Every structure is written in structure tokens, then in C-alpha cells.
Amino acid sequence: MKLYNTLTRTKEEFKPIEPGKVKMYACGPTVYNYFHLGNARPFVTFDTLSRYLEYIGYDVTFVQNFTDIDDKMIKRANEEGITVEELADRFIKEYYVDADGLNIKRQSVQPRATHSMKAIIGLIKSMEEKGYTYIIEGDGVYYDVSKKADYGKLSHYKLEDLEAGGGERKASYEGKKNPGDFALWKFKKEGEPSWGSPWGEGRPGWHIECSAMIKQYLGDTIDIHGGGQDLIFPHHENEIAQSEAANGCNFCNYWVHNAFVNIDGEKMSKSLGNFFTVRDIVKKYPYNVIRFFILLGHYRSPINFSDELLAAAQTSLGRISNCVRNAAFVINSGSLSGDAEADKILSDAVDTASESFRSHMDDDLNSADAITDIFNLVRQVNTSAQEGKVSADMLKKASDKILELTGVLGIVLDLEDEIPEEITDLANKRAEAKKAKDYAEADRIRNEIQAKGYIVKDVPGGFKIEKGS
């Protein structure tokens, strides 16, 4: 398998540190609100990567964190008159509602930053002992980026070109040795939660949290680190600086970043106010459609959000679901003849789809073309089922392959017809009328079914009921 490595800006053959095993980390949500579609993209992307690595035989340890302490969380908790912990508890619970809906598997570990203080303090102490830190009185403990000779190697920024800040408190940079220096530990301010440390009461900086949790749960060096492209700088750059300074070894071998979800050419984000939460979108489109929509684009290419594109994704996903449902009906009908040539045609289509799917997923997780492979198989399954010459065993094998490949992508199909008993009874009466050659009555019942919002179609061995459009 090849992955595009942001560090080298090339596709590289994936070679894990330990054969057969993968240590992977992806940045999780800051839990002060429902997550939006832009947030959902990395969650779905790295869940899919984890699923695929497991599918091809790797034992994957996947860690995704919760950032449960930062400026935004403190601000909202104060506005609501609750503790930061209460706010975090609420939105971690809400995260799981949407994540479960999107069929995002529970990661091996999902640690909270505030539960990792011992690891955070230990990492800062290690950097301090090696001369990478300094203290700004009344502010905090800072990392000296000039001490890291290759600082900027991920973002490819030069130290002299970096702007001050690093995503931390931006009100003042007085006392910094370099504009790009960033806080490891922030001294306590009025109205903020705090923890004890060798440097005094305070709380961790944003970047140190991920470095500490990675060391705690995965070790000093990991195989894959993922996140949105907006995290390349400063967050991931600073993770590298901290971890390599403290541990004295390479931090991560493969850096994988997904592109943005855009609206009118701009990144979807809370700060820009142009975001749609998954919780809002699901009022109109099911969770499985949202996941399918995300995977229709290659993870490194921007995707544009629109109601029309989501509607098209829903229609396309329905084609796959209808194919599997129809195949099951035809198999159960007992009308298939089992022609050897028809079996070979479908068998070849199964083999081609399987090989092409894996080839595309091996090529930097190309889910877009992998879904095209699934549709190619869907077309042949529909044709074979309609012709009725294929064997039941072969048709089931092909249908099962569709379920297998969609399952690798975490895509849930709608396989329940949910047809009311009243409609089924009418369809059976229509079938009896046709058998008795009372075609006028059969047409009358068909029209009655259609008036109730359903369509009955004659298929080999019987009939099929679908919801009308």
C-alpha cells in the first residue's frame, strides 16, 4: 500500500515499524460543540484507513483523542455557568451519537487530555532537562523553536518566515525568544481550571496534549499520524518538535492529511461561520449518506458541500442498496436456471471488482475509484439477476462481495424494505389477479398501490415493491 506522506511530499510504500502491526494516531475533536461536516471528514477518512489496514491483514492500534481543555472550551463553559468538565462530558456524549451514526468504529483508545496530566508534565520535564524550554514570568513554559535544527520540516516553512503565535494566546508575545515559540504550560489565569505542576498551577498548551497521549498509548515512534490539512502548521509541526526533543528519536514515519470541505470555495469552519453540523444535516439526509458523500471524493482533494450533491449521493447509495435487496429477492424466488456461462460472467465481474478495489485503495486510499469498482459490480449483478440465467449461489457470492466491499469503507446499506403490510397484501392480491388472468383487476390494484406511494414491479419469479419517488 502507498500513502502520500506530507513530510516528504511523495507517495511512499507503507512499511510499518513492526511487521503486521500499525500504530496510528489522529487528532480528535475539541468537545465544546457538535462537530460539523468539515470535522467529520478526517473522522471518516481515518476510520476508513484503519478499516482498510485491518482488511488487508494488519493489527491496528488506533488512538484518537478528545481535546477537553482549551480557550474555546473555557469561554463557552463560563458563558453557560458550568465547569469545563461538565461541558466536555456533554459534548463527548454528543460526539458518540454522530460518530456512531456515521459508523465510525470506536478507536482502540480515546483518551481525554485532562486525564493525561502525568504524561504531559513528564514530557515537558524531559524537554526542560534537555534545554528546549524557558519560562516567561506570569505567562508560562515555552518551547524554544531555535533549538530544533529541522523545525519546519513538515510544513516546509523556514524559521525566519514564521509568524508569531502557534495557535496559542495571541494577545502578547512579549518575552518570547522567537516569534514561533509556543506554550507548553500556561500559568493559571482567573476563571480558568488548573492543575499542579513543577512550574506552578496551570494547564497544558494545545500541542503538548497530543504528543503526551501518543507517547503514553503508542510509544515514542508511530507509523501514521493523521488529521486535517489545517493542522499541519502549527499543531503537527509543534508535535514533532516536542516529541523528538523529549524522546530523542523520530516521531512519526507517515503524515497523512485530508483536504477541506468547502462552501463557495472557502473552507468550512466554525470561525468563518459557514459550517453545517452533522446533527443539522442528518435532519434531511441519513448518516450513511453523509459518510458515502465524504468517501465519494479522494481524501486529499477538496470536496464541495451542497444540497444537490448530497441528494445525488443519496440516490447513488440507494442504487447499491436496491441491487443487494433485489438480488436477495431473486435468489429466494427459486427461478434462477444456473447457466455455467452466466455464472462465469458474474464470477469474472466479482474478481475484477475485488482486484480493482484493492488496487485503488492501495493507491493512497483512493475511495472514490474504489466506489466506482463497486458500481461496476452492481451493474453486472443487476444484469445477471434480470436475465435469470445465473445460479443462486453465484448471485449470492456477488451480492456478498458488494456487502464486503462497502463494509470495508464503513458504508451501511439500507437493506430493510420497510414496506407496510397493507401494501404487501395488495401486491399479493395483484399477483393472484394476474395468475387468474384478471388483468383489469391487476391494473386497478397496481394503480392503488402507486397512489399510496409505492411501485410494484414484475421480476423473475414474482414481484418487487419499491417506494415511489
- Listed by start position, the domains of the chain span 2-258, 308-408, 421-467
Q: What is the pLDDT of residue 162?
A: 64
Instruction: Give the full edge-to-edge strand order of the sheet including 21-26.
Output: 59-64, 21-26, 222-228, 252-258
The residues near 280 (Cβ < 8 Å, ≥ 6 apart) are: none
Angstrom CA distances, 210 to 178, 218, 226, 271, 272, stand at: 23, 11, 12, 22, 25
The residues near 364 (Cβ < 8 Å, ≥ 6 apart) are: 2, 3, 4, 11, 298, 300
> What's the CATH number of domain 308-408, 1.10.287, 3.40.1350, 1.10.10, 1.20.120?
1.20.120
Task: Indicate the SS3 state at residue 205.
Answer: coil
Alpha-carbon distance 203 to 85, whole Å? 13
Alpha-carbon distance 225 to 214, whole Å? 10
Q: What is the pLDDT of residue 340?
A: 96
pLDDT tens digit at each of 469 positions of the chain: 999 999 999 999 999 999 999 999 999 999 999 999 999 999 999 999 999 999 999 999 999 999 999 999 999 999 999 999 999 999 999 999 999 999 999 999 999 999 999 999 999 999 999 999 999 999 999 999 999 999 999 999 887 776 544 444 444 567 899 999 999 999 999 989 999 999 999 999 999 999 999 999 999 999 999 999 999 999 999 999 999 999 999 999 999 999 999 987 777 776 677 778 999 999 999 999 999 999 999 999 999 998 999 999 999 999 999 999 999 989 888 889 889 999 999 999 999 999 999 999 999 999 999 999 999 999 999 999 999 999 999 999 999 999 999 999 999 999 876 567 788 789 889 988 988 999 999 999 999 998 887 888 886 556 777 777 5
| Contact indicator for 73, 88 with CB cutoff of 8 Å | yes
3-state secondary structure string, the chain?
CEEEECCCCEEEECCCCCCCEEEEEECCCECCCCCEHHHHHHHHHHHHHHHHHHHCCCEEEEEECEECCCHHHHHHHHHHCCCHHHHHHHHHHHHHHHHHHCCCCCCCECCEHHHCHHHHHHHHHHHHHCCCEEEECCCEEEECHHHCCCCCCCCCCCHHHCCCCCCCCCCCCCCCCCCCCEEEEEECCCCCCCECCCCCCEEECHHHHHHHHHHHHCCCCEEEEEEEHHHHHHHHHHHHHHHHHHHCCCCEEEEEEECCEEECCEECCCCCCCCCEHHHHCCCCCHHHHHHHHHCCCCCCCEECCHHHHHHHHHHHHHHHHHHHHHHHHHHHCCCCCCHHHHHHHHHHHHHHHHHHHHHHHECCCHHHHHHHHHHHHHHHHHHHHHCCCCHHHHHHHHHHHHHHHHHCCCCCCCCCCCCHHHHHHHHHHHHHHHCCCHHHHHHHHHHHHHCCEEEEEECCEEEEEECC
Q: What is the pLDDT of residue 395?
A: 97
Alpha-carbon distance 232 to 126, whole Å? 24
Instruction: Give CATH for domain 2-258.
Output: 3.40.50.620
Q: At what angle do helices 307-333 and 287-295 cross, to 10 degrees?
A: 110
Q: Which residue has the cell 481550571?
A: 193
Alpha-carbon distance 412 to 302, whole Å? 24
Q: What is the pLDDT of residue 169?
A: 40
Angstrom CA distances, 160 to 169, 182, 385, stand at: 21, 15, 65
Give the CA count within 13 Å in the CB-facing half-sphere of 257: 20
Q: What is the pLDDT of residue 171?
A: 41
